[in-house]
Structure 1
Amino acid sequence: MSKAAPLPAHLEARGFLVSEAYAAGVPRWRLESTGLLTPSRGLRLAKGTQPDLELLARLHTGVTQRCAVSHVTSALLWPLPLPLSVQAAATELGLIHITRRAEIGRIKRRGVVGHRAPLLARDVRTVNGYSLTSPEWTWVDLAGMLGRDALVAAGDAMLSRTAPLSSVKAIQEVVNRRPKVKGIRLAREVLPLLRHGVDSPQESRLRMKILDAGLPEPAVTQPIHDEGGHYVSTPDLQYKEYRIALEYEGEHHRTDAIQWGRDIERDDRLRGIGWTVLRFSKLQLGRGWPASELKLRRALAERGWRGPAS
C-alpha cells in the first residue's frame, strides 16, 4: 500500500476521525502521510480542504463524548443572524465553541474554545450528524457576546414567520434556569422586545431605532385588507391606527427587476386604500436615520399621533 493509495470509501474525503480510520483497517503510517493534516488530536483533514463549520462540528463532537457545539458556532449553524464583524472573527480565527456538561470538564484541544455548563438533554439537539446547543440555550449564550440590537435580531429570527426555531416561552424557561450566566441581565432586558413574524434582522434593527426615537412601536407583519375584505399587502411594519406602512428594502429589492416591480405594485395598492408607505434601506438605517426619523415622525403627526402619553 503506497502513500497515494485511496482511503476507504466510507470515510469522509475531506475529514474524518482517526478512530474511524483505524476501525476501517487504515494503518497509522497512512494517517501520517503528507496528504493529511491534523487540525486537532484524533482528527484528520485532507490537505487543501477548507473545512466548513458543519464538517468541524461533526469531527469535534465525534471525537469528544457528551458535548455540543455552542455559542457563536451554534448560532451560525442554526443559522441565526449575527453582526458581520462577529461572523468574520469566527471565520478568520477558525475556532469552534464546544460546551460540555459542568461535571465532566472543559474541553482543551487545538481549534476549540471550551466551555462548561449544566446542559440538560433538552438543551442539546442533533442536526446533520452533530450535536449543538438548542436555539434557546444558544441565544442566552449570545447575550454575553452581543449588543442589544443584535441580540433582538437573533431572537426575532428564532420566532420567524416561516419555520420558527423556538418560542418566547421556551426562551424564558432557559433564561430562568441560567441566572448567573454572563449577559443574563441583557437577556432579561431583551426578551420582552422579541416579536413573532419578523422576516429579517434589518427589520428588527428598524424597529429598535423607532423605539429608541420615542415613537410608538409598529406592529410586525400583519395583513392588510380593503373595506371589502380583500387582501392587499403584509408590510414589514405598520401602524394600523394611522394607516402607515413601513417597508425595509434589502439589496435584492433593488437588483431584482421583478421584485422591484412587485414592490411598486404593492405600494400602489396600499396608497390606493389611503395608506402612507414609507420605505427604508441600509442607508436610511445608517447615516440617513435622522432624516428618516423626522419623516416618520411627521407622517405620524399628520395622521393624528400626538406624541407619547405623559
Structure 2
Amino acid sequence: MRLRPEEVLDLELLARLHTGVTPRSAISHTTSALLWPLPLPATLEAEERGNGLIHVTRRAEIGRVKRRGVVGHRAPLLARDVRFINGVALTSPEWTWVDLAAILGRDALVAAGDALLARENPLSSLEAIQEVVDRRPKVKGIRMARAILPLLRRGVDSPLESKLRMRILDAGLPEPLVTQPVHDAHGNYVSTPDLQYREYRIALEYEGEHHLTDPVQWGRDIERDDRLRSMGWIVLRFSKYQLRQGWPASERKLRSALAERGWRAAA
C-alpha cells in the first residue's frame, strides 16, 4: 500500500506546519518513513494515515513537543541527521530506519532497509546505516537494528522480493544473489533476475501485479525467461500468492530445483 498523491500532499503540509512552528525539529519515525517513502506493513500504514498524528523529534537539549496531533520525541540529532525534502525537515533515511527498529518485525524491517539500498535511486548505503546504528547504542530497538543490518542487501527492487528472500532463508535454503546480471557464453547481456543461484543456474522472479496489467512488460518477461531457459537455466516465478498460502508448494519446488542441480543440505 502506498499513499495517493493527494495524501502525500496533505501529509507534507501537516509536516511543514508542525516543523515550521517547532524550532530545531524534524519529522521522524513512521511519518518520516511515509514521506521518504519507505515500505511499511499495510496495517501499520493504514493506522498511521488514519490516526492523524505526526511524529516530530527535537534535539535532545530541547523539550519534547507537546501539541495536539503531535507525538513528540527527543534525540541527539546532528545536522547530517536531518534532510529537507520539498521544504519539510525529515530525519535522514538511516536515522528513520533505526527508529523503525523499535516498531517493525524482522521481515518488515529488512524490507525497509533493503528499500534504502534499492537498485534505482538508493536513499542510503550500508556504511551510512552502520554509522547511525553505532552512534545510537542505547536507543529503543537498537538490538533489532544490529541483528537485521547484516541481512540487508543492495539492489532489491521491492518489499516482496525482500520477503521472498527471508522465506528462503527461513526454509534453511542457501541465500540467492540479488539482482546480478547474467551473460551468455559470448559475454552478451541476457537478464538480471530478481534472485538467482548462479552456480546452479536457477533464476527466481517475483512478479508484481503491474506485470499482469502491462501487456508489454508481460511479453518482455516471457522473452526474458525464454532466453534464460535456452541457456539451461531453471526459471521459477513467484507472486504474492506464492509468498502466502502457496508457500509450502513453492518451497518444495525450489528445494527440488536445487537438489536437481546438485545442492545438498548440510548434514
Deviation of 1:182 after TM superposition, in Å, equals 1.1
Structure 2 residue 107 is matched with structure 1 residue 149? yes
Deviation of 1:84 after TM superposition, in Å, equals 0.6
State the match for 2:162 in structure 1: 204
- After TM superposition, the score normalised by the length of structure 1 is 0.83
If asked which structure has higher relative contact order (CA below 8 Å, sep 6+), I would say: 2
Structure 2 portions without partners, runs of 5+: 1-6
Worse overlay, 196-205 or 121-130 = 121-130
Deviation of 1:51 after TM superposition, in Å, equals 6.4
CA contact (8 A) 2:8 2:35 kept: no
CA contact (8 A) 2:97 2:113 kept: yes
- Which of 92, 98, 102 is matched with 1:140 structurally? 98
1:187-226 counterparts in 2 under 5 A?
A: 187-226=145-184
Q: Provide the C-alpha distance between the structure 2 equivalents of 1:302 and 1:89, rounded to a whole number of angstroms.
A: 45
Corresponding residue SS for 1:166: coil
Deviation of 1:50 after TM superposition, in Å, equals 10
State the match for 1:240 in structure 2: 198
Structure 1 portions without partners, runs of 5+: 1-48
The letter for the 2-side match of 1:244 is I
The letter for the 2-side match of 1:256 is D
- After TM superposition, the score normalised by the length of structure 2 is 0.96
Deviation of 1:102 after TM superposition, in Å, equals 1.2
The letter for the 2-side match of 1:279 is R
Deviation of 1:254 after TM superposition, in Å, equals 1.1
Deviation of 1:266 after TM superposition, in Å, equals 0.6
Structure 2 residue 59 is matched with structure 1 residue 101? yes
Larger radius of gyration: 1
Corresponding residue SS for 2:139: coil
State the match for 1:229 in structure 2: 187
Deviations 1:130-169 (A, max 9, x none): 1010001000000000000000000001001111111111
How high is the sequence identity, in percent, across the aligned residues? 78
The letter for the 1-side match of 2:181 is P
Structure 2 residue 218 is matched with structure 1 residue 291? no
- Which of 228, 250, 259 is matched with 2:208 structurally? 250
Corresponding residue SS for 2:73: strand
State the match for 2:264 in structure 1: 306
- Which of 158, 176, 184 is matched with 2:142 structurally? 184
Deviation of 1:191 after TM superposition, in Å, equals 0.1
State the match for 1:270 in structure 2: 228
Distance change in 2, residues 1:140/1:91 (3 Å): same
Q: Structure 1 residue runs of 4+, over 3 Å off?
A: none
Size of the aligned set, in residue pairs, is 261
Q: Provide the C-alpha distance between the structure 1 equivalents of 2:148 and 2:180, rounded to a whole number of angstroms.
A: 22
Q: Provide the C-alpha distance between the structure 2 equivalents of 1:279 and 1:267, rounded to a whole number of angstroms.
A: 10
Deviation of 1:302 after TM superposition, in Å, equals 0.0
Deviations 1:78-121 (A, max 9, x none): 11111111110000001110000111010000111100111111
Q: Provide the C-alpha distance between the structure 2 equivalents of 1:291 and 1:103, rounded to a whole number of angstroms.
A: 55
